[in-house]
Chain A
């Protein structure tokens, strides 16, 4: 069994979990939820093994030049998917709201599908610029932060759907249908806030470790490179979100939109900058 084959199974497990969570919204069946959770947990466990295996394979293949699987676009998106599942499963353990799975697992599934079908998964040794321990700290903190933002974004989308339906239905009418299975707007808002509360310090740490690395490798901790600037834009948006919560008129829907805008900026920072703009973070083998 190679890590690549294992990753295909993981992709399928996430697909199954996604379909089952959506099926739950339609069927309201407890059994479906159980199966969906099982798929998510199995997928996550297998992916943890797959990442470890790829690490091991890099030493088999490159000898002393083996390295943690966090160095190119393929590996980063696989780690992103893993991080999303990690944050999602923690949220699920705490809040036990299965409807959220239908809005968060798709991010992980899309990532894995793109990685497995569209990206070069070759294990190459590190070019000189990446030969640093800072790489590991930088990537782990950034992507755990991104994953928390992905969960916040999924929950914000649910919030907007639910709040929209409730407005249509009027103040006293209960909202039925699929939306009826969503957690209350209060809980969705709370999860949104909590997820960003976890993501924001991680993003800050990601930016700081990146700056520390840049200073160690190039002698400048900040050079307004597009990637750096976009990470700061993401930071500004979530800082605005956190302060908006204490400001009247900025809670509820506006906060949900800010969270979605923040995740859009995050995705642009992660992918858009490399695909559209140019800069220091050109991924190898992308």
Chain B
């Protein structure tokens, strides 16, 4: 390798290790992310944008992948750069930190004390051995048990607290990479799909987003019932609930298991979430129709605009329905075809007032007895084998950032030296963060040590 090449490699390495790159990448990620919150990110709405804002703007944004920017090559490249920067920074700094923690400086020479902000010296009329034992006991009690090194008649002590706090930042960095790995695993081996199941029917397939090819579940899911309940006195929904039955290999795994929003069902790593609902087909209305002349009542049912046969050739035609008709409750608008294929005059019948229609004075007295609208339940279906990797990353991020921010690696060095017939004690300390806090603790400690040694 020539000099030029090696210097190029070095500067490239330095570039990827630089904190400036980190700051710039983070700011770039922050500013570019705004685009996707302003421009629509799904194809349907992008089309709407084309119609509203014109072809030119649409084409430009389209060419820059602005309508799917979080999956665009340039955004992924930014994320890759971010990851690379993270990895390089960590590789560069980690070995030194590892050494600091695992091979600490046990013998502090005078030079070392000069680098420490907190130092205290005193001279005692006690032999070295006695002072040593006192200080060792004192540190063990008040700080942490020290490592004792004796060299040339001098005694050196080293004690430390929370050395692993130095790894917090690397755990945080690693956690981000783990989250990325989890996201990639989920994208490669999982899917997001949806399925609509009509009440009383079952399905074995779901539809992935952005694809026409359905996915086979390998088991069947039936929707036994879907219901919406409301809070008293209002239109505010309280609960959307589906009863699902899961059958796998002829075996019923879940029988009419209720799922609601915020309480999904999982089988074989595939989870079903209550997401939407809607009417399936036309509602079926039930009526009790009484012939005034004979007093005989028949129960009939049918859909809207259907001619429902009544005894003697006439028929009943439901024309419309509402759950609430001017505070009278459920009501249907119907008309009667007397057998001449003509719609008679439409009239209203009320479910809560079955005798109301007698007043009309017609040959048929009609009462609404029920309306049954079938619903489909809309389920989100997700399979994400990477999600646990993501949670592991998140947990590490919390632990890592907490220890990076709130724990501090504190170290104390003591040198005990014979000075004539006296003994000199020098104590110094440092903390890898929160120096002001350490300063206070150190001052407290040295006062205590002084009293301890004086006694």
Interface presence of B380 (CB below 8 A): yes
Interface presence of B405 (CB below 8 A): yes
22 residue pairs of the A-B complex, CB under 8 angstroms, read: A65-B231, A129-B261, A190-B436, A197-B405, A200-B405, A208-B397, A211-B394, A215-B384, A217-B261, A218-B275, A219-B380, A219-B384, A220-B192, A220-B382, A221-B387, A221-B390, A226-B37, A236-B29, A243-B22, A246-B19, A247-B22, A277-B38
Partner of A233, one of B33, B239, B380, B391: B33
A240 cross-chain contacts in B, Cβ below 8 A:
22-23, 26-27, 30
Residue of B nearest to A207 (CB): B394
Contact flag A127-B237 (CB < 8 Å), given A211-B394, A229-B33, A236-B26: yes
B23 cross-chain contacts in A, Cβ below 8 A:
240, 243-244, 247, 250
A125–B236 touching, CB < 8 Å:
yes
Interface presence of B240 (CB below 8 A): yes
Contact flag A128-B27 (CB < 8 Å), given A208-B394, A208-B398: no
Partner of A219, one of B27, B37, B264, B397: B264
* 5 extra A-B contacts, CB within 8 A, seeds A215-B384, A240-B26: A200-B401, A217-B261, A219-B271, A221-B390, A236-B27
B: number of interface residues (CB 8 Å): 46
Closest chain A CB from B401 CB (angstroms):
5
From residue 234 to 267 of chain B, which have CB atoms closer than 8 A to chain A?
236-240, 260-262, 264
Contact flag A229-B236 (CB < 8 Å), given A219-B264, A219-B381, A243-B19: no
Closest chain A CB from B353 CB (angstroms):
31
Interface presence of A124 (CB below 8 A): yes
B390 cross-chain contacts in A, Cβ below 8 A:
211, 221
A201–B30 touching, CB < 8 Å:
no
Taken together as a complex, chains A and B put the C-alpha atoms of A65 and B274 apart, in Å, by 21
Residue of B nearest to A62 (CB): B231
Taken together as a complex, chains A and B put the C-alpha atoms of A60 and B239 apart, in Å, by 21
B183 cross-chain contacts in A, Cβ below 8 A:
222
Interface presence of A265 (CB below 8 A): yes
A233 cross-chain contacts in B, Cβ below 8 A:
30, 33-34
Which residues of B pack against A, CB within 8 Å?
19-20, 22-23, 26-27, 29-30, 33-34, 36-38, 41, 70, 183, 192, 231, 236-240, 260-262, 264, 271, 273-275, 380-382, 384, 387, 390-391, 394, 397-398, 401-402, 405-406, 436
Interface presence of A216 (CB below 8 A): yes
- B interface footprint on A228-257 (CB within 8 Å = 1, 0 otherwise): 011011001101100110110010000000
A237–B401 touching, CB < 8 Å:
no
A131–B261 touching, CB < 8 Å:
yes
B37–A201 touching, CB < 8 Å:
no
